[in-house]
Amino acid sequence: MATINLRNVDLNLLIVFDAVYSTGNISHAARQLALSQPAVSNALTRLREHFDDPLFVRAGRGVKPTLRSQQMIDPVREALRLIRQQFDGDRSLDLASYKRTFRIVIVDPLEAMLMPTLMREITAHAPHVAIESRPPWNANVTDDIIAGTLDLACYTFPVSSPGLVFKTICPCDHIIVARRDHPGISARLDVKTFLSLDQVALIPELRGHTNIDRDITTRGGNRRIAYMVNKVWSMPGIVGSTDLIAVMPRRFAELMAPKFNLQIHESPVPISPQDYHMIWHERNTDDSGHKWLRDTLLKAIHAEAAPTGLAAAAAAC
């Protein structure tokens, strides 16, 4: 491989390289960097000439990195991190001028809890920050965080992989929801009624991420799932306008209940609580912008968890 003359490499080209690698799309990278698409394309042309490699090839509506790019990305990011660290010194983050698009994965119940607070904070103090929420169940979260195409995940289970950091942010317990004045439910929902009523639930692949099926089957019996959805967001509207019932995370159900005329019932079958976790790559631990995002989400957790008594548990994490 030919030796690269560093005097001819513009540092800004590496910033463009990182943005294109992270977004997988030249137009998205241009928006993230506040550049025109031709400017980004021109930067890539210069990089290709420097490294004598295409670096990115077309893939669907975006681009995917070549083997050479995959070999370069970690050293490039580490170099940029060190340079930024030296320039930033001890200066605090200037949110008013800070420009960045964070790509995150967040499960539905947490999205309902956290995103309103985060977006109010962005509107008030960080007007040039944007959030791109990726599908939580279609993404290979671990690989995407390692590759840098994903900045952060708020997920229902911890992962174990070199370089990843995970923080337990709050517990999640489940309750039963039905429409108000459901004809099949008296004042208190009992096991027999719970198992006999038609239910809406997540599709099997997604239910596998929880312990709900296991607990209901072993501690109560078989329930009838009449309709299966691929996101928790779909459940409140269906339950509120039918006689189907559903198992939902408590805080999510409390937020949705007044909007969809829902009645909340304690589960007659014990369902083990789970935890939500925040996951990121260790290279971002000291990144001031990334830290601001994590801290803001954690503050939102503490504020939103208070009505159900989860704030103390979240604070202890």
86 pLDDT tier (thresholds 50, 70, 90): low
For 6-88, give the CATH class: mainly alpha
* Residue 313 pLDDT > 90: no
Pair 185, 265: CB distance under 8 Å: yes
312 pLDDT tier (thresholds 50, 70, 90): very low
Pair 25, 16: CB distance under 8 Å: no
pLDDT tens per residue, range 87-126: 655 457 889 988 888 999 999 889 998 999 999 999 999 9
User: pTM value?
Assistant: 0.71
Integer Cα distance of 258 and 25 in angstroms: 40
**6-88 and 100-169+275-316 share one fold:** no
The residues spanned by each domain of the chain are 6-88, 100-169+275-316, 174-272
pLDDT at 1: 40
Fold annotation for 100-169+275-316? D-Maltodextrin-Binding Protein; domain 2 (3.40.190)
pLDDT at 305: 58
For 174-272, give the CATH class: alpha beta
Percent of the chain with pLDDT over 90: 47
pLDDT tens per residue, range 248-288: 999 999 999 999 999 999 999 999 988 889 999 888 888 88
Going by C-alpha positions, the residue among 158, 194, 165 that lies closest to residue 177 is 194
Integer Cα distance of 246 and 264 in angstroms: 10
